[in-house]
Amino acid sequence: MSTSNETICQTAIPSRQPVGPAFGPVLGIALSSFAYFFFLGTATPYFSLWLAQKGLQSNWIAAIATALLIGATIGQALLPYAALRIGRTPALLVTTLGGLGCTAALMLAPSPGALLGIALTGALFTGAAIPLIDAIALEKASPWYGRIRATGSAGFAMATLGVGWLIDRIGVACVVPVELAALLGLLAGALLTALPLSLAPTQPAPRVSTGSASPLRSAGLWAVMLSVALINAGHAYYYTFSNLHWSRDLGYSSATLGLLWATGVAAEISVFSGFSQSGDTSGARRLILLGAGGGLIRWSITAFDPPLALLFALQLLHGLSFAATLLGGLRMVKAMVPDDVAPLAIGVFAALVHGVVIGLVTALLGLPFARDPAVAYLLMAGLCGAGGGGALMLRRFRAPA
């Protein structure tokens, strides 16, 4: 007998629901999320500055940046498999310790080639952290997932602002030590997650089996992941080239650029804080469609360089194009696979959404699209439309009951 993925997922509760508040896991997961995104908010904008201070030429910096993306994508796809063998929290501890060791080794690297190898290895570990954090959060603290993920957004924003301020005062040499401090916070969060501080035992929630020997072969699951990946890839030009276009072509100051990005992060935090990961997937599918619609509107208007006030208003749609899309996608993925393979499924989801598809689109932006912002933004809107179309088709996919 067959039924639709949506029907299956509506009867499945995506995670274990605690009878009482689980303070240890919730606090530990929240700290892990904050610390990891603080690390990411330090590394993403400032690690290249640290490399330049080390005397690396632009070709080496580009090669290391590419290695970081490749390593993180592979780690997201493969290392969560270890969680199926040793458990999710132990796997997070392993990835954190590996990231700490490699990040410390960066300061002792004797050559650009050594930096490249260490950065690639470290990205394998640190890239795997976020799908493991998500899997643990969805297992142990599903009703609080949105608020936990909001702490990550707050950590990213605090890092981009705080580390920039710190660099102005003590120099770029502080970047890698700050990354180490953030990873120590991640280690503390992973240890705290393992502590049995729950006031009442958690009880497994009933689930409907997919009936599949290999749930990752489900066409419906891949349709969900690809739809979300296309919508998220709509941010490729924004992440890579928007500041350059807004400052060079439109003359906006650095302070204005910071406020534009902060507005988007604030909208993201607001959406994450307002939603949990409990509920059926009809709501999750609507979140994905909202994200696609928000991205379609956002990038279609941004393409025509609207007045600054309208641009600030469009930045509020980041709460839909990014946060709502991610929440809906994670909820559907978690509901469509058994608990024992959830870390692997979320790892593949993270690799596809945050690595493979957006990485390919970013590479394409090096072609003539990057020289014509209007065309690039309209292309981003088209990706959101394609992802929304995929989400509309989700009802057509069927899975074994």
For 133-158, how does the pLDDT look when each residue is reduced to its tens digit (9 = 90+)?
Answer: 887 887 777 777 778 888 888 898 88
- Residue ending a domain, among 137, 167, 199, is 199
Same domain, 52 and 188: yes
pLDDT-derived band at 329 (thresholds 50, 70, 90) equals: very high
Torsion angle in degrees (nearest 10) through CA of 178, 263, 147, 35: -10
Q: Are residues 140 and 60 in the same domain?
A: yes
The enclosing domain of 70 has a CATH number of 1.20.1250.20
What are φ and ψ of residue 331, in 5° steps? -65, -45
- Whether 236 is in a domain gets the answer yes
List Cβ neighbours of 263 (8 Å cut-off, separation of 6 or more): 312, 315, 316, 318
Residues 188, 177: Cα–Cα separation, whole Å: 17
% pLDDT > 90, the chain: 29
Give 347-386 pLDDT, tens digit per residue.
Answer: 788 888 887 888 788 777 766 555 788 998 999 999 999 9
pLDDT of res. 227 = 95
pLDDT at 21: 41
Does residue 121 lie in a domain region? yes
For residue 170, is it within any domain? yes
CB–CB of 118/107 below 8 Å?
no
Instruction: Please give the sequence-ordered ranges of beta strands (E in DSSP) within 102-258, or none if there are none.
Output: 202-203
In a domain, 167, yes or no: yes
Q: Structural domain of residue 327, as residue ranges?
A: 215-400
Examine the domain organization and report whether 169 and 219 are in the same domain. Answer: no
* Confidence category of residue 396, pLDDT binned at 50, 70, 90: low
Same domain, 33 and 72: yes
Token digits for 58? 């632009």
Q: pLDDT tens across 300-317, in order? A: 999 999 999 999 999 999
Listed residue (316, 265, 292, 232) closest to 152, CA to CA: 265
Q: How many angstroms separate the CA atoms of 137 and 299, rounded?
A: 32
